[in-house]
Amino acid sequence: MPKLSTRLQRFRKGSPLSFRLLAWIILFSSVFTLIASGIQIYSDYRKDLSQIDNRMKVVESGYASSLARSLWALDQKLLQTQMEGILSLPDIVHLRLKIEPDSELVMGDIDRGAQTRSHSFSLVHQGDEMFKLGELTVTADLGRVYEEMERKVGIILATQFLKTFFVSILIILIFQHFVTRHLSSMADYARDFSLTNLSRPLVLDRPDTPSNRNDELGRVTEAINQMRERLNDDLERQERDAAEIHKFSKAIEQSPSSVLICDRQWRIEFANQKFTQLTGYDAKSILGNHPGSLGEGNVENRESRHLWQSIRLQVQRVGVWQGEVNSVRKNGERFWEQLIVTPIKDASGQATGYLILGEDISIRKRYEQQLLRQANYDILTGLPNRMLALDRLKLALAQARRENTLVGVMFLDLDNFKHINDTLGHDAGDNLLVEAARRISSCLRGTSTVARLGGDEFLVILPGLNGADASYQVADRILKTFSPPYILNGQEVFVTTSIGIAIFPTDSDNSGTLLQHADAAMYQAKHKGKSSYAHFAPEMTEVSHERLQMESRMRRALELNEFELNFQPIVHTDSGNLCSVEALLRWNNPTMGTVMPDRFIPLAEETGLIIPIGEWVLEEACKTAVSWKEITGRDVGISVNVSPRQFRDPGFTDIVMRALSNSGLAANQLELEITERLILDNSIETAEILRQLDRAGIRLSVDDFGTGYSALSYLKSYPFDTLKIDKSFVQDVMKEPEDASLVRAIINMAHSLGLRVIAEGVEEEAQTHFLKQEGCDFSQGYFYSRPLPARDFESWLKTNQRVQI
Ligand SMILES: Nc1nc2c(ncn2[C@@H]2O[C@@H]3COP(=O)(O)O[C@H]4[C@@H](O)[C@H](n5cnc6c(=O)[nH]c(N)nc65)O[C@@H]4COP(=O)(O)O[C@H]3[C@H]2O)c(=O)[nH]1
């Protein structure tokens, strides 16, 4: 409780309401008191007057007969005594007795100016007859009554005023205690109220009881505190929003991607630092411009106009545009960027602007082009490789079908290449291949294709022929260009070639069969004597007899239990500790011996036998992996190769899930290795199967990366966990700087896509140092262990020092 002095001070200074209240209470109560007192005084006055009247009536009733008797008896003395008796009565000051007929007796005095009241009555003798003897007029002085009234007025006014004053003070003090001081606190609170002290609630100096909480002050306090809390919340939200906005704007400003924000009319409103870095345009200088108008002359550029038109349409229809764009920097230099364009929508879903995110992918593009070259061209000769040659062959066949022409397919093999390679060395062999490629190419027209299929095998495709003769002429020309000697290691060497020819559509209308026929014809040519050509004839298919035999053996191999799995460890590159194991298939045939997968898997694929074989591999691999837990005391993951044919089989996912449930292997311990070629078909089914497997928790890896069309951008679209760099790159990292830079780029890019990397074919320690330095996650190769049969691999697991158990 504040001290009395403080309360008084507050009362005087800070409580005008109390003062005004006091004044009004005094005024009203005074008026009221005055009216009440007036009524009271008036009624007392009336009472006094009626007392006097009564007294005079009492005189009449008490003295009239005795006075009449005294008059009748003419007893003057008695009359006087009686009149003196009347005069002694209070307030009676004057008596006038008129005696009949005409005498008068007066007693007492009346002060001049005095207020009086008189009462007259007749004095009558009551005998047989009634005689009026006289009349007495009694006069009373009202002076005492008036004095009394004045005194009363004084007393009443004084007491009423004091009473009113003190009651008012009391009321005020009570009011002040219960109301106004709290109002003052509220006023002080409201005066001090600011956004900086929102956490201090308003607390009134009174007990916190339910009744206090529910009265008006309690409710106002609660309302103020609720308002404070709301403000507090709003402020906090505002601060949070501001912090978020600040964070986002910083993130956008410092984003590693370039960011452009455009308004609804595609006018640039904002560009971040990265955009300036990437394009050379200062943000301020491009505000208001269309993003497609940047770059000299771009406004006029039809290509750019079309591009932005289709971007605009797709964003409107689909809600996003994504693609790779060849953009121009301010200095005119071109670069590749990956753009994502999305609308910025308001709460009602209306586009209020557009967000354009850009990422410089020039390096990736360069490597993709390099990889593309690598995948499609033979590095040594610069000629298309097998893959590109097959593509071209398919194109040529399609064109020939449309134009009704023939296509010549030639298979070439250098007759004594192996001997030259062995005797003169690999460099001489390489030089020979380069020169042979040049000579073959020199015999062909622009539309023809010459490709190196591998080793010393070349393929020539002659599209748009009118007859088979044209292909014989080309074959003759080629044989002739081979006549001059080759200079290898300073020596003249004579090299010949054998050519097999198959013609579309007479020999086959299918590219694969055409190649087989050309191959068969080439063997025929070789048998005929070298340096010749042969056109395919059906008898030559004998060659495929071997294939048929293999196929029928393979059909029985599963029943006869001829398949076996070998296991090769995959280790952590930095520690050499075991990470997981790859299962590799072997076929132990009594006649053919151990057949390696490269020999029989393509045939298994072609014949569809890969599906039951693949199922057996999955079952066996999962079961074996579970059995290792007893040896190592921990889960060991297993990688299983899946061929495209197997993958596209409708029952594939069921087969995988069954293998997991039969063996009890956890899904995340199984990794499926899928070749890069499979992703290239880019079909919806492929994507869906991959996603199904991913959802089931199975790990997915891209195998033989670098041998197909290594488009890293495709990898983004699929849920891969791991990328396996093909051994052909890894094996030469210490010899070929180009391979080293390619491996480095693949590792970096895979990491940037969130993929882990396995290097295959690690054979030397130096390679492990290189891979460690480049941050390659895992390694696999003969350096760690060759693929081993199950029992040998178990011993490896038990004895290998590097295994962390
Ligand atoms: N030069 C060299 N080679 C190394 C080294 N380390 C491992 N390798 C070999 O590299 C191949 C790695 O397997 P891949 O790339 O998946 O290539 C495999 C895979 O694509 C396929 N394959 C193997 N088993 C299966 C299977 O069960 N199903 C299917 N569909 N394909 C399989 O056959 C291919 C060849 O298998 P393998 O002959 O066992 O050959 C294996 C392995 O023995 C090394 O340091 N140097």
DSSP assignment string, 57-106: HHHHHHHHHHHHHHHHTT-HHHHHHHHHHHHTSTTEEEEEEEETTTEEEE
- Per DSSP, 643 falls in state -
Q: What pLDDT, in 10s, does the model give residues 545-568?
A: 777 788 889 999 999 999 999 999
Q: Which atom of ligand 1 is nearest to the CA of 783?
A: 45
Residue 343 preceded by cis peptide, ω within 30:
no
Residue with tokens 């290239």: 680
List the beta strands (DSSP E) in 516-662. Answer: 533-535, 563-572, 578-589, 593-595, 637-642
Q: Select the more confidently predicted residue: 776 or 530.
A: 776
Instruction: Find out whether the beta carbon of 638 lies less than 6 Å from any atom of ligand 1.
Output: no
Average pLDDT, the chain: 87
Q: Given the DSSP bridges, would you call strands 92-99 and 103-108 parallel, antiparallel or unpaired?
A: antiparallel
- Per DSSP, 384 falls in state B
Whether residue 476 has pLDDT greater than 90:
yes
Contacts of 6 (CB under 8 A, 6+ apart): none
Q: What pLDDT score does 680 carry? A: 60
Instruction: Find out whether the beta carbon of 613 lies less than 6 Å from any atom of ligand 1.
Output: no
Its sign, for the CA torsion 303, 305, 306, 312, is: positive
Q: What pLDDT score does 1 carry? A: 47
Q: What pLDDT, in 10s, does the model give residues 732-788?
A: 899 888 889 889 989 998 998 899 999 999 999 999 999 999 999 999 999 999 999
Tell how far the Cα of 584 is from the centroid of ligand 1, in angstroms. Answer: 6
Among the listed ranges 55-59, 482-486, 538-542, 703-707, which one has the minimum average pLDDT value? 538-542
Q: Amino acid identity of 519?
A: D
Atom 31 of ligand 1: nearest residue by CA position:
641
In a mutational test of the pocket of ligand 1, which residue from 760, 767, 786 has the highest number of ligand atoms less than 8 Å from its CB?
760
Q: Which atom of ligand 1 is nearest to the CA of 597?
A: 33
Q: What pLDDT score does 152 carry? A: 80
Phi-psi region of 295 (alpha: psi -120 to 50; beta: other; left: phi over 0): left
Q: What pLDDT, in 10s, does the model give residues 297-310?
A: 544 577 788 889 89
Tell how far the Cα of 593 is from the centroid of ligand 1, in angstroms. Answer: 18
Residue count of the chain, please give it. 805
Task: Provide the Cα torsion 170, 174, 175, 176; round to 10°.
Answer: 100
Atom 46 of ligand 1: nearest residue by CA position:
761
CATH topology of domain 381-536: Alpha-Beta Plaits (3.30.70)
Tell how far the Cα of 252 is from the centroid of ligand 1, in angstroms. Answer: 46
Q: Select the more confidently predicted residue: 196 or 578.
A: 578
Whether residue 387 has pLDDT greater than 80:
yes
- Per DSSP, 332 falls in state S
Helix (H, G, I), strand (E, B) or coil at 133: strand
Atom 43 of ligand 1: nearest residue by CA position:
787
Whether residue 2 has pLDDT greater than 60:
no
Contacts of 266 (CB under 8 A, 6+ apart): 290, 291, 308, 312, 354
Whether residue 792 has pLDDT greater than 90:
yes
Instruction: Find out whether the beta carbon of 703 lies less than 6 Å from any atom of ligand 1.
Output: yes
Distance between CA 401 and CA 407 in Å, rounded? 10
Q: Provide long-range contacts, Cβ within 8 A and 24+ apart, for 274-279.
A: 275/358, 278/329, 278/335, 278/337, 278/358, 278/360, 279/327, 279/329, 279/330
Q: Which atom of ligand 1 is nearest to the CA of 762?
A: 45
CATH class of the region 255-360: alpha beta
Burial (CB count <10 Å: 0-12, 13-18, 19+), residue 294: buried
Atom 42 of ligand 1: nearest residue by CA position:
787
Q: What pLDDT score does 4 carry? A: 52
Tell me what percent of the residues of the chain surpass a pLDDT of 90. Answer: 42
CATH of 7-171, one of 3.90.940, 2.60.40, 3.30.450, 3.20.20: 3.30.450
Whether residue 710 has pLDDT greater than 60:
no
Residue 364's alpha-carbon distances to 370, 611, 720, in angstroms, are 10, 36, 19
Atom 2 of ligand 1: nearest residue by CA position:
761
Its sign, for the CA torsion 517, 519, 525, 531, is: positive
Residue with tokens 């050519």: 499
Burial (CB count <10 Å: 0-12, 13-18, 19+), residue 667: middle
Q: What pLDDT score does 413 carry? A: 92
Atom 23 of ligand 1: nearest residue by CA position:
584
Q: Provide long-range contacts, Cβ within 8 A and 24+ apart, for 426-433.
A: 427/489, 428/488, 428/489, 430/380, 431/486, 431/488, 432/486, 432/488, 432/493, 432/495, 433/380, 433/381
Tell how far the Cα of 319 is from the centroid of ligand 1, in angstroms. Answer: 44
Whether residue 158 has pLDDT greater than 90:
no
Burial (CB count <10 Å: 0-12, 13-18, 19+), residue 170: exposed
Work out the average pLDDT over 339-353.
Answer: 92
| H-run or E-run covering 528 | helix 511-528
| H-run or E-run covering 671 | strand 670-675
Tell how far the Cα of 693 is from the centroid of ligand 1, in angstroms. Answer: 23
Instruction: Give yes or no for a contact between 296 and 272, defined as CB atoms under 8 angstroms apart.
Output: no
Q: What pLDDT score does 649 carry? A: 87
Q: What pLDDT score does 631 carry? A: 83
Measuring CA to CA, which residue among 724, 656, 668 is closest to residue 699?
Answer: 668
Q: Which atom of ligand 1 is nearest to the CA of 646?
A: 30
Does 7-171 match 255-360 in CATH topology? yes
Helix (H, G, I), strand (E, B) or coil at 153: helix
Measuring CA to CA, which residue among 454, 424, 419 is closest to residue 437?
Answer: 454
The two tokens of residue 626 are: 């579970």
Instruction: Please report the DSSP string for 28-42 in residue order.
Output: HHHHHHHHHHHHHHH
Instruction: Find out whether the beta carbon of 782 lies less than 6 Å from any atom of ligand 1.
Output: yes
The two tokens of residue 292 are: 């497609």
Greatest CA separation for the chain: 206
Instruction: Find out whether the beta carbon of 594 lies less than 6 Å from any atom of ligand 1.
Output: no
Q: Provide long-range contacts, Cβ within 8 A and 24+ apart, for 340-345.
A: 341/311, 341/315, 342/315, 343/315, 343/316, 343/319, 344/261
Its sign, for the CA torsion 9, 14, 20, 22, is: negative
Burial (CB count <10 Å: 0-12, 13-18, 19+), residue 5: exposed
Instruction: Find out whether the beta carbon of 706 lies less than 6 Å from any atom of ligand 1.
Output: no
Other C-beta atoms closer than 10 Å to the C-beta of 406 total 20
Instruction: Find out whether the beta carbon of 597 lies less than 6 Å from any atom of ligand 1.
Output: yes
Distance between CA 149 and CA 47 in Å, rounded? 11
Atom 27 of ligand 1: nearest residue by CA position:
585
Domain boundaries, the chain: 7-171, 255-360, 381-536, 548-798
Residue with tokens 């928790």: 697
Q: Which atom of ligand 1 is nearest to the CA of 640?
A: 27
Whether residue 379 has pLDDT greater than 90:
no
The two tokens of residue 165 are: 């004053």
Instruction: Find out whether the beta carbon of 787 lies less than 6 Å from any atom of ligand 1.
Output: yes
- Per DSSP, 13 falls in state I
Distance between CA 169 and CA 15 in Å, rounded? 13
Q: What pLDDT score does 666 carry? A: 96
Q: What pLDDT, in 10s, does the model give residues 602-635?
A: 889 878 899 999 999 999 999 999 999 888 888 9
Tell how far the Cα of 792 is from the centroid of ligand 1, in angstroms. Answer: 18
Instruction: Find out whether the beta carbon of 374 lies less than 6 Å from any atom of ligand 1.
Output: no
Helices (H), 193-270: 210-214, 216-254
Instruction: Find out whether the beta carbon of 584 lies less than 6 Å from any atom of ligand 1.
Output: yes
Q: ∠ CA 107-110-115 to the nearest 5 degrees? A: 140
Q: What pLDDT, in 10s, does the model give residues 70-122?
A: 888 888 888 888 889 888 888 889 999 898 888 888 998 888 888 898 999 99
Instruction: Give yes or no for a contact between 458 and 450, defined as CB atoms under 8 angstroms apart.
Output: yes
Atom 12 of ligand 1: nearest residue by CA position:
760
Distance between CA 793 and CA 805 in Å, rounded? 15
Whether residue 803 has pLDDT greater than 70:
no
Q: What pLDDT score does 76 carry? A: 86
Instruction: Find out whether the beta carbon of 671 lies less than 6 Å from any atom of ligand 1.
Output: no
In a mutational test of the pocket of ligand 1, which residue from 641, 707, 728 has the highest number of ligand atoms less than 8 Å from its CB?
641
Tell how far the Cα of 386 is from the centroid of ligand 1, in angstroms. Answer: 20
Burial (CB count <10 Å: 0-12, 13-18, 19+), residue 337: buried
Among the listed ranges 32-41, 129-138, 750-759, 773-782, which one has the minimum average pLDDT value? 32-41
The two tokens of residue 518 are: 């050309």
Measuring CA to CA, which residue among 543, 569, 468 is closest to residue 796?
Answer: 569
Whether residue 14 has pLDDT greater than 70:
no
Atom 41 of ligand 1: nearest residue by CA position:
584
Instruction: Find out whether the beta carbon of 569 lies less than 6 Å from any atom of ligand 1.
Output: no
Whether residue 55 has pLDDT greater than 70:
yes
Measuring CA to CA, which residue among 629, 695, 696, 709 is closest to residue 659?
Answer: 696
Q: What pLDDT score does 681 carry? A: 57
Measuring CA to CA, which residue among 105, 114, 158, 168 is closest to residue 140?
Answer: 114
Tell how far the Cα of 670 is from the centroid of ligand 1, in angstroms. Answer: 17
Instruction: Find out whether the beta carbon of 596 lies less than 6 Å from any atom of ligand 1.
Output: yes
Whether residue 199 has pLDDT greater than 60:
yes
Q: What pLDDT score does 263 carry? A: 94
Atom 6 of ligand 1: nearest residue by CA position:
781
Whether residue 801 has pLDDT greater than 50:
no
The two tokens of residue 284 are: 């301020």
Residue 531's alpha-carbon distances to 233, 432, 497, in angstroms, are 92, 16, 5
Which of the listed ranges 9-23, 162-176, 409-423, 647-661 does the model predict with the highest average pLDDT? 647-661
Instruction: Find out whether the beta carbon of 727 lies less than 6 Å from any atom of ligand 1.
Output: yes
Instruction: Give yes or no for a contact between 141 and 93, defined as CB atoms under 8 angstroms apart.
Output: yes
Helix (H, G, I), strand (E, B) or coil at 618: helix
In three-state form (DSSP H/G/I as H, E/B as E, the rest C), the secondary structure along 731-788 is: CCCCCCHHHHHHHHHHHHHHHHCCCEEEECCCCCHHHHHHHHHCCCCEECCCCCCCCE
Instruction: Find out whether the beta carbon of 615 lies less than 6 Å from any atom of ligand 1.
Output: no
Which of the listed ranges 148-162, 216-230, 462-476, 707-721 does the model predict with the highest average pLDDT? 462-476
Instruction: Find out whether the beta carbon of 767 lies less than 6 Å from any atom of ligand 1.
Output: no
The two tokens of residue 85 are: 């008796």
In this structure, what are the phi and psi dihedrals at residue 482, rounded to the nearest 5 degrees?
-85, -10
In a mutational test of the pocket of ligand 1, which residue from 611, 727, 734, 771 has the highest number of ligand atoms less than 8 Å from its CB?
727
Q: What pLDDT score does 8 carry? A: 54
CATH topology of domain 548-798: TIM Barrel (3.20.20)
Sheet with 449-454, strands from edge to edge, namely: 449-454, 457-465, 406-414, 497-504, 533-535
Tell how far the Cα of 796 is from the centroid of ligand 1, in angstroms. Answer: 19
Q: Select the more confidently predicted residue: 489 or 312.
A: 312
Whether residue 363 has pLDDT greater than 50:
yes
Work out the average pLDDT over 508-525.
Answer: 90
